A and B are shown apart, each in its own frame.
Chain A
């Protein structure tokens, strides 16, 4: 995670020395964690569909889509070629 300067307008610039902004960065870590975790949770089902679309039909209905990233890789574009 990179250090981010914060733009909250209400605080007068004089009352914010450089040391404080580092402290604020650490104080905001929970905020970033919450956002990133929720965003990942929200993406999971869609990613599952995307991965499944590249897997052969018999594997989709026998193993989970997350196992596709283990060897042996068994991806296929057959699903797409049969649609198009």
Chain B
């Protein structure tokens, strides 16, 4: 019974109240139905926010998985595996804010003709290319082409920071999965005459697919609720807002409680399916044990 009371006060009441607030106007004085939700899906700026978040989900998850798997496979084949893996894992141990500060050193931009103290632009000017404002520019570097909504340079630059941080996590989990594959299976495949690539494609990959799925769902949830990196790098300016930063702005900058509530509810319902997938997989894994 006390457990019910705690869950009720700490979880259910705030959730229900957020939903109630999302149906009201900015200062919760007038009921406006689903108007806030309509704004999220029809307003141009809001649509960009959703698209940015979708780009985060796809690009971030795919890159983290691909690079994590690459490191796990490659590092597992050399003697200095612990050192190599530690180096990749270090960013995981750094706070998001510190990581963003680090990457501001990488992306820092000065107009042409001034000393570039950002590493990327210094490298670009050293080989004769013009500097790029990585965190402000929407166009593809060194061209004037502005790609459609979420595919802006600054979005990709910020996502790269997230990838840099989370690849270590994916690598460690996937590496543990790779180590769990029994040597006999791989040996059998070699005896049957499979080459290394075939073994990876037909034996290793299917065997660690549960681990890959686990990392993928974790990364999707991570990308959905991403806030800190975006907030410290650009504060969501220059079209880099994601759902969480927009929610913060609606709540604290614009004092629009209804709109913030609607975004919170949308974010919640976007994440719920992935949580269920994770829980289900965990359950079936426990049963198979």
Contact = CB atoms under 8 A, between A and B. Distances in A.
Given A32-B78, A48-B105, 19 more contacts: A4-B79, A34-B74, A35-B71, A42-B87, A43-B90, A45-B99, A45-B105, A45-B164, A48-B102, A48-B106, A49-B98, A49-B101, A49-B105, A61-B117, A62-B117, A64-B117, A64-B119, A65-B119, A66-B122
Interface in A8-63: 9-11, 28, 31-32, 34-35, 38-39, 42-46, 48-49, 52, 60-63
Nearest to B189: A10
A52 to B, nearest CB: 6
A68 to B, nearest CB: 11
Contacts of A60: 117
B160 to A, nearest CB: 10
A64 B116 contact: yes
A43 B87 contact: yes
Interface residues of A, number: 26
A45 B77 CA distance: 26
Interface residues of B, number: 32
A38 B72 CA distance: 12
B130 interface: no
Nearest to A11: B190
Interface string B54-86: 000000000000000001001101110000100
Residue of A35, A43, A48, A49 contacting most chain B CB atoms (<10 Å)? A35
Contact of A42 (B91, B103, B117): B91
Nearest to A67: B117
B283 interface: no
A60 B108 CA distance: 11
Contacts of B78: 4, 31-32, 35
B43 interface: no
A55 B72 CA distance: 36
Nearest to A40: B87
B141 interface: no
Nearest to B75: A35
B94 A38 contact: no
Contacts of A63: 115, 117
Interface of B: 71, 74-75, 77-79, 84, 87-88, 90-91, 94, 98-99, 101-103, 105-106, 115-119, 122, 164, 167, 183, 186-187, 190-191
A48 B108 CA distance: 12
Given A39-B88, A45-B164, A31 B115 contact: no
Contacts of A49: 98, 101-102, 105
Given A31-B77, A35-B75, A35-B78, A48 B119 contact: yes
Nearest to B190: A10
A46 B161 CA distance: 12
6 A-B pairs with least C-beta separation: A10-B187, A10-B190, A64-B117, A39-B87, A45-B102, A49-B102
A46 B101 CA distance: 10
Contacts of B103: 45
Contacts of B94: 46
Contacts of B119: 44, 48, 64-66
A63 B103 CA distance: 16
A64 B99 CA distance: 18
A4 B79 CA distance: 8
A60 B119 CA distance: 12
A59 B44 CA distance: 42
